[in-house]
Structure 1
Amino acid sequence: MDFRISNFLPVSEMIATSGQPEENDFGDIAEQGYQAVVNLAMSSSEGALPNEGDIVTSLGMGYVHIPVPFDRPTPQHFELFAAVMAHYQNRPVWLHCALNMRVSAFVYLYNRIYRALPDSDAGPLLAAIWRPDSTWRALIEEILSSHGLTLR
């Protein structure tokens, strides 16, 4: 299915990422077999749906909201994200935030650290969405370093 959600990017058969879906998009996401939705946007992010968790769970999918302040992301936010990804391992999961910027950075880190992908494989997925600003680049470097890895 061709999703018309902003910054939609299929990462693998088990992971899709995007910007904020609209309310009616979640039915399509469920129909495509996704079993969970993980939201990294703030409740105050542009386009955020105040009842998103209710919408998603009413469709039979799991829902996890990890609000990550765009200007103050922390390694703890990423570690929580990684734990959620481990929980949903081997199940199709849809990851989103406001514009797919938070998500693409966390998926990049997840792919490098937990899936052991080289930067040559993980990097293009991040670059397809954005080039992280200094705040996010510093976070990425800090987290990679803590796992004995480097950024490019």
Structure 2
Amino acid sequence: MKKTQLAVLAKMKNTPSLQKSKLGRVVTIACISVGLGLSLCANAYHEDSSTQQAGDETPMSTAPPLTTLINYQQNAPFMYSSGLPDASHLSLLKEKGLTHVIDLIPGDRASEILTTSELGLDYFNVPVDWEGPTLANFLNYAAFMQNVDVNKDKVLTHCKLNWRGAAFTYLYRINVLGENEQTAKKDLMAIWHPNPTWYAFMNEVITHYNGVNGKQVAMSFEAASESQ
């Protein structure tokens, strides 16, 4: 009986249907293996590419913000003042609408003249001696300011630390624009407290404009002591 069963089983194994079924399983397993292999290769390639792209990325350089511009202020909708700007600061200000630059630093200003020219900014130099500012200096400054269209232009007044600039913008605001002295003084004092030399100069400018305008504008502070 057992011999008969074994013979039947052997015969069944040799039948075409069983061979075909076995072959089908082999093909299926092979396909799955190939599919898994291709999937793993694709994932490995994707990860490698992503890693390479991430490694190739370099941080974009950014220009220094205006917070790095020494003693930068906006004194009026069309007026800025600051210490010495570099090309990147001027470029950022141009994006904000800057059209004119008034430089109060004496000496060789060729570098800034070139920079403002390249940026398409209107440049003007009023060389103010730190130890001896004059009424003529301010009148020269005010004459150029008259070229500024307050409705569409913007002007930067600057020196090295915005000490000259703060004094000039303060004087222009109270004498020409007619702003409240207390309001203008806040911006001035945020930068520096004028010493006796500059206080005397500022008083001379105010006296001149009071005579021209028939007003009684006055500074609401005294000069800083020499020790300050």
Kindly report which structure 2 residues correspond to 1:2-151, keeping only aligned pairs within 5 A, or say none.
Answer: 2-43=66-107, 50-90=110-150, 91-148=153-210, 149-151=217-219
Cα deviation digits, residues 11-49 of structure 1 (max 9, x gap): 1221111000123322222222100111001236xxxx6
Question: In proportion to residue count, which structure has more helix?
Answer: 2
Distance of 1:39 and 1:2 partners within structure 2? 18
For CA contacts below 8 A with separation 6 or more, give which structure has more relative contact order: 1
Matched pairs, number: 148
Distance of 1:3 and 1:65 partners within structure 2? 24
Distance of 2:137 and 2:207 partners within structure 1? 16
TM-score scaled to structure 1, two decimals? 0.90
Any conservation in 1 of the 2:83–2:161 contact (CA below 8 Å)? yes
Distance of 1:93 and 1:139 partners within structure 2? 23
Structure 2: gaps spanning 5 or more residues: 1-64, 211-216, 221-228
Percent identity of paired positions between Structure 1 and Structure 2:
28
Cα deviation digits, residues 46-75 of structure 1 (max 9, x gap): xxx641011111111100011101111000
Any conservation in 1 of the 2:66–2:72 contact (CA below 8 Å)? no
Cα deviation digits, residues 61-111 of structure 1 (max 9, x gap): 100011101111000000011111111131111111011011111111101
TM-score scaled to structure 2, two decimals? 0.62
C-alpha RMSD of the superposition: 1.5
Any conservation in 2 of the 1:43–1:50 contact (CA below 8 Å)? no
Higher mean C-alpha displacement, 65-74 vs 35-44: 35-44
